Structure formats: C-alpha cells, structure tokens
Structure 1
Amino acid sequence: MIVSGGEALVDLVPIERGPLSPLAPRLGGGPYNVAVGLGRLEVPTAMLTRLSTDAFGDALLARLVESGVDTGLVQRGEEPTTLAVVTVDEAGHARYSFHVEGTADRLVTDPGPLEVDALAVGTLSLLLEPGASVYTELARRGAERGLFVSLDPNIRPALVGDADEVRGRLDAIAAVAGLVKLSDEDAAWWGREPEELLAAGAGAVVVTRGAEGLRAFTTAGVVEVPADTSRPLVDTIGAGDSVHGALLAHLHDHDLLDRAAVADLDADGWRDALGFAARVAGWTCSRAGAEPPTRAELAQG
C-alpha cells in the first residue's frame, strides 16, 4: 500500500474567464490529489491527513472513499478546511492564494509506525508547522525501516516562512527518497540541481517542464518524453500531482517501489514510466480542476 501524507483542501476555481468570475469549490491539495489519482488507478492507497468536521471536510472524505482510498489514517478536527483561491490565465495555467491560518490539515499528529510499502509527501504540508515536522519525521523514520519515500516539494513561495529551514527539510527528505518529483520552478526556488539530489542520495529525480514534457535524471543518465497533447487543454490544475501519482502507480505495477530498484531502472524502463505519467497528466489537464483519470478511462484511449 502507498500512503499519501499531507494536506487536503478546497480550491475555489473560476467557472469562466475573467478576473471577477464566480468561483466554484473543487476538492484538492497536492497529497490529496495523489491519493485520489492512485485510488482511481486501482493502486492500494491510503491518505494520512487531518480533515475538518465542516461540510468541506465531509466532502473531502467522501471523495476519498469514492475513489477507493483507505481512510483509516484520516484524522478529524473542528478546525476549518484550508482554502486555495485559484486564478487561471489565458493559457490555462493556474495560480493560487491560500487561506491556511488555524486550519485542520496542518494539525495532523504522528500516527506511529506505518506498515506500508511507500510514503509520498510534499506541498503545503512541508511548509506549515506543526504538521511539517510530523511528515518529515515520518519520512525519516520510514526510510530507516526500508520504506520507499517519494517527495514532491511543489513549493508555494508565498507561504514560506524561513526559506533556509524549508530547504533543509527538503534536503533531508530528498537524501533518503527513492523518488523526487519536482517542477522546474521548484528546482529554481530550492536551488538544487537534479544531479545534486542524486549525489545526495535520491534514487531518481523527475522534473516536470510544462508543455516541454518530463525528464528523469538517474545514475545511468537522462531520459526525456514529450507532454501528451492528444487531448484538449482545459487547465493545468493538478497536473503535477497526476504525474506524481502516475509515477508511483507505475512503480507499484512493476514491483519497483524500492530505492535501489528505481536507481537501477534503465532508460527503456524510464521512458515507459514517464510516458505513462505524461498520459495521465494529459487526461487531468483535459478537464476542469484536479480530476485524474480512472484505469478504465485510460484503457479507452
């Protein structure tokens, strides 16, 4: 089983073009989208987070269940749900502003040892205390026990307090991670080249480059695949999360949720993995909000 640990929130998304468009609620958050994506791809997965007992929290929980995600690690609290206000430019690219003060997801508590195959962490949950320290410790402790750790920084600079502290936290997780997935914007903010992360201990590093596709950095070299443009672009909300979830699904399907196995994967293996991730992300970008495809939808072409 793969556990996705981190925030679950509500995106308030414009329903039409223009700065004063009405906003519609969409359920999301990077780790939440990864969990939903894995569940829809029929990969055994669970979500570790803290959800509000408000109506948004109930809806977030129900969608996890509908997507086939195990909710046994989900905690509940009376604090409000985190909100993200989304704007989408003419090219379909999303930008976010966040309302996170005193919200439920940042107050997650340590569940103890995780008897699972993999732990995926990242996004807001690694920026906001006290939850950030909980997820960092879970990743460190899990890696010591042989758990496959996957990291997607998905940095939101507006929410970064102490940048050096955040970079140090990311460095510590990346050094024990089997997979680091990041965007080129994340890499620029972090100040770490993929080769540096490999040298520090990461099994492999996958960089998303928007319309330019995906690139994997491994000890054997660099592998690239183009973006999947076979479906019309609606928006890019959840695209990176879909890549992260799809990579984990592919590794699970091929019995590769192991740091050494990922480090040893050859170029053809990486082309298959990246191609699958690009295809899943293309599906997600073809509809509004973070709506990753099911396994059945992918089979339909």
Structure 2
Amino acid sequence: MKEIVVCGESLVDLVAHTGGLAPLRPALGGGPFNVAVALGRLGSAVSFCSRVSTDHFGDELVASLRAAGVNLSLLQRDPDAPTSLALASLGDDGAASYTFYVEGTADRRVVDPGPLPGTVGALAFGTLSLVLEPGASVYEQMMHIHHAQGRLILLDPNIRTPVIADADAYRRRFLSWLPSVDVVKVSDDDADWLAAGSDGSRPADWLDAGVGAVVTTRGGAGLAVTTGDFTAEVAAPVVVTADTIGAGDTVVGALLHWLGAHGSLGAQAVRDLDREAWQAALSFAARAAAITVSRPGADPPWAGELASD
C-alpha cells in the first residue's frame, strides 16, 4: 500500500456554544491533523509532516496521532514555541466559527523534511498551514517538488478568513498552486469565497489550470465531484448532527483512503476514474463524514465503523 503524507498544522480547539458562558471544552484539531487521524483510523499508511510544540497540548496531539496509527517519523517537535489555539463557537445548527491564536506558534516554524521515501504516493495540504508564514512557503515548495516527482497532490484550502490578511493576494496564490494539484476539495462556502473579488476563480478555471478533479462538500446536500468530463453527486446520509467540526477533514481522509485502497493514488490514476468509481469514492467519504458529525468535536470513524467498500 502506498503511503500518504499529510502536511500542515495541528492545534487545540476551545469549543463553546454561542449564547452563553459555559466552560470551554478543549478538543484536538486542525484540518491536516484531523485528516491524518482519519487516515490512520481507517487503516491507511499515513505520516504527518508538521511541527508540534513540546508543551502539554503538543504531547496530547502526538499521543492522539500515535493512537490512530499515524507514522511520526516526519514530525518535528519544538521546545520554544506553543501550540496554536482556536476558539470555536458553535451555532444552534452545529456549525462552527473560529478565532485563532497563532502568533509565534510551533506549527508555522516547520522546516522541509527533505526527500521522502519512495513508498509515498500522495501528499495532502491545506488550511492554516498554507496561510501562515514562514511555514506556508515551506509547504508550498513541497507541493511543487513532490508533484514534479509524480506524486498525487490533494489541496483543501479550508478557508479561514480571520487569518487571511489580504484576500486577493491569497486568491492569486491559490491559483499559483493549481498546476501542481491533482484534486482540490472545497466546501461550497470555500468555492463562493474563492470566486469573489477581482482575482476570483471557479472550479472550471481550476480544471483549466491542470487540476484533475474538484470535490465539493455541500453540507446536508451531500458531495459532488467535477472533472473535465462529468459531474457526479451523492447524497449525505441522514444523521442527528452534534456539530460539523472535522466533517470536511474526514471527507479528505476517507477519499484518500478509498483512492489508496483502489490503486488510484496517482496523478493519472485519479484522472482515469469514471463516474461510477467517483460515486463509490464519494459515498464512502460521505458515510465517514456522517459518523464524524454525529458526535462532538473532530472524531473521525475507525475502519470497523464503516462497512467495507
């Protein structure tokens, strides 16, 4: 089985329901961290490339990765910088809004790990790690290098507007990544935000730039994929939602797991998938995400919680 390397931040979410002053509930998180945990729990060979503080929160993050079966050989520890924090406020519908505390934190001090093992078939990037310097430039360089070496690249921008100082500059930078990206995953809100402004773009533009497929999460409306040849959609399973934290990250992890299990972790292989295969992949990802939203916090499913696919 080919290995997947997930690149980006980990952090601690301090979760509060809006409209009250109940005690904050800490939860381990960060988009890339959640993706790595999801992949590990599903049984993929996965490594996490990041920099994690040696503070108490950092130790808890590392312990959670280890418990999920994530390979930590690419993980860097930092004794001089704290763990990033996010204040997540939940609305009545379970949707979260975020405020971030990331100045001088460990994850943005990541350094390039150098050449990766030949067993690595794919890398995933996203969220804060592609915004906050100097780490953003490190990950950007890795994206281009490893795509040029023939590895599959998945990008989930997972837009967090509070940390984006210049929206138009970010949109231009996003476009610069696309020739080195095979799969883009966005929420419908992400897609709308990326389309705005003088430098806005849409999925059709991303496909023209060289992306093989655009996967869109649409909340209760399910998932869709758009390629140069077709669009395919699947419905979301009906569940009682605890909150939506980690749902999109679970989609990314489950999608990459499905691709790996079906021999499609490759730039050309993912472009060769037909409509039926994409519907199977999206159905698997939707079922995984439904489990995550049915329980509080980013708590992706284990392989045994999903019927084989």
TM-score bracket for the superposition, by shorter chain length? over 0.9
Aligned partner of 1:3 in structure 2 is: 5
2:173 and 2:166 map into 1 onto residues whose CA distance is: 11
1:27 and 1:155 map into 2 onto residues whose CA distance is: 19
* Distance apart, 1:180 and its partner CA: 0.6
Q: Deviations for 1:56-83, whole angstroms, at most 9, x for unmatched residues?
A: 0000000000000001111111201000
Q: Deviations for 1:96-153, whole angstroms, at most 9, x for unmatched residues?
A: 1100011000010011122211110000000100000000000000000101100000
2:204 counterpart of 1:200: no
Aligned partner of 2:93 in structure 1 is: 91
Aligned partner of 2:269 in structure 1 is: 261
1:174 and 1:154 map into 2 onto residues whose CA distance is: 15
* Unpaired runs of at least 5, structure 2: 196-200
* Unpaired runs of at least 5, structure 1: none
Aligned-CA RMSD value: 1.4
Structure 2 letter corresponding to 1:234: A
Aligned partner of 2:134 in structure 1 is: 130
Aligned partner of 1:219 in structure 2 is: 228
1:193 and 1:262 map into 2 onto residues whose CA distance is: 20
* Distance apart, 1:164 and its partner CA: 3.2
CA contact 1:123–1:155 (8 Å) conserved in 2:
yes
2:175 and 2:294 map into 1 onto residues whose CA distance is: 34
* Distance apart, 1:232 and its partner CA: 1.7
Number of aligned positions between the proteins = 299
2:163 counterpart of 1:155: no
1:69 and 1:176 map into 2 onto residues whose CA distance is: 25
So what's the TM-score if we normalise by structure 1? Answer: 0.96
Report sequence identity in percent: 52
Secondary structure of 2:9's partner? coil
1:155 and 1:19 map into 2 onto residues whose CA distance is: 26
2:260 and 2:57 map into 1 onto residues whose CA distance is: 31
Secondary structure of 2:220's partner? helix
So what's the TM-score if we normalise by structure 2? Answer: 0.94
Q: Deviations for 1:197-243, whole angstroms, at most 9, x for unmatched residues?
A: 111101100011111111100122100111121x3211000000011
Structure 2 letter corresponding to 1:264: D
* Distance apart, 1:165 and its partner CA: 3.1
* Aligned mate of 1:285, from 293, 300, 303: 293
Secondary structure of 2:296's partner? coil
2:75 and 2:169 map into 1 onto residues whose CA distance is: 27
* Distance apart, 1:162 and its partner CA: 2.8
CA contact 2:18–2:89 (8 Å) conserved in 1:
no
1:196 and 1:227 map into 2 onto residues whose CA distance is: 27
Secondary structure of 1:117's partner? strand
Aligned partner of 1:145 in structure 2 is: 149
1:172 and 1:257 map into 2 onto residues whose CA distance is: 23
Secondary structure of 1:299's partner? coil
Q: Equivalences for 1:29-68 in 2 at 5 Å?
A: 29-68=30-69
CA contact 1:219–1:263 (8 Å) conserved in 2:
no
Secondary structure of 1:174's partner? helix
2:276 and 2:175 map into 1 onto residues whose CA distance is: 29
* Distance apart, 1:300 and its partner CA: 9.2
2:223 and 2:307 map into 1 onto residues whose CA distance is: 22
CA contact 1:233–1:287 (8 Å) conserved in 2:
yes
